[in-house]
């Protein structure tokens, strides 16, 4: 018996919410966050640098239920001069070699800080100049150029970890980057085609794919896509980093957004 559409939508939403909760629990590495939203207090700081910190080949994403690889490069981020919660973004996306330009916004919705500072799994990372750490949540919408082939727009939620130093500059949170499962700057949402209106799941992050389904990422200490997905754009990644293929590594390290 087929379930009514509204029940299917409810079940899909429930499953997504459960997956998001599980993701956040792992993403935070069991850090204890103050429940107070300190967005107004932290609007005086500039978070723009944290979204352009990571090398392109370390930003990993999927689009569609078949987990086709998507490459996303945020090229420039500027804080809005009037609304301190808005950041103007330009960048590019690539799927199967089809490259599109996009422009859009990141709109901060929440800033939460930790109750006690975390310096990772090694004592040598202790930095006395760090005065606060936290989690940023935001809404994003990135619109691709509608004159380009297979273009559409990205929309969803962003989760970024950061820390604040005594020089009052926001820094990208990489303190425990060597730990298993490390991830940052998780963009979790959808992509919708301008032409067909078709919507696809689309997620990317630094160093891991967020909310990946079981069997996709089979790596422990580091990201490793299953060979089952090689035809979906992941073959060169495995060849470059696990088979030490020089041509594949050259491809992975290429600045595709400049070609």
Q: Look over the chain and give the mean of its residue pLDDT values, rounded to a whole number.
A: 87
Q: What secondary structure letter does DSSP report for 225?
A: B
**Higher pLDDT residue, 124 or 12?**
124
Percent of the chain with pLDDT over 70: 85
* Three-class secondary structure of residue 252 per DSSP: helix
Strand partners for 186: 159
Query: pLDDT digits over 214-244, tens only?
Result: 999 998 888 999 999 999 999 999 999 999 9
Rounded to 10 degrees, what is the CA torsion of 176, 54, 164, 25? -50
Tokens in use for 89? 């973004």
pLDDT band at 66 (very low <50, low <70, confident <90, very high): very high
* Three-class secondary structure of residue 11 per DSSP: helix
The dihedral of CA 15, 25, 190, 63: what is its sign?
negative
Query: pLDDT digits over 141-153, tens only?
Result: 999 999 999 999 9
């Amino acid at each position: 018996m087929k379930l009514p559409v509204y029940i299917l939508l409810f079940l899909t939403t429930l499953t997504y919410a459960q997956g998001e909760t599980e993701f956040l629990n792992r993403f935070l590495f069991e850090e204890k966050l103050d429940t107070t939203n300190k967005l107004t207090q932290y609007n005086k700081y500039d978070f723009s640098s944290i979204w352009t910190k990571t090398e392109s080949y370390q930003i990993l994403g999927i689009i569609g239920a078949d987990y086709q690889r998507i490459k996303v490069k945020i090229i420039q981020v500027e804080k809005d001069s009037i609304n301190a919660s808005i950041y103007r973004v330009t960048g590019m996306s690539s799927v199967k070699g089809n490259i599109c330009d996009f422009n859009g916004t990141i709109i901060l919705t929440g800033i939460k800080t930790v109750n006690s500072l975390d310096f990772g799994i090694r004592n040598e990372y202790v930095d006395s100049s760090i005065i606060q750490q936290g989690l940023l949540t935001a809404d994003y919408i990135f619109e691709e150029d509608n004159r380009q082939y297979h273009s559409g727009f990205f929309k969803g939620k962003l989760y970024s970890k950061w820390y604040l130093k005594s020089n009052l500059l926001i820094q990208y949170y990489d303190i425990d980057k060597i730990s298993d499962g490390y991830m940052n700057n998780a963009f979790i949402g959808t992509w919708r085609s301008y032409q067909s209106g078709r919507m696809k799941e689309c997620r990317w992050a630094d160093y891991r794919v967020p909310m990946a389904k079981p069997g996709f990422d089979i790596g422990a200490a580091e990201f490793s896509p299953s060979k089952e997905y090689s035809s979906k754009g992941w073959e060169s990644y495995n060849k470059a980093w696990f088979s030490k293929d020089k041509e594949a590594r050259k491809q992975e390290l290429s600045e595709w957004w400049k070609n």
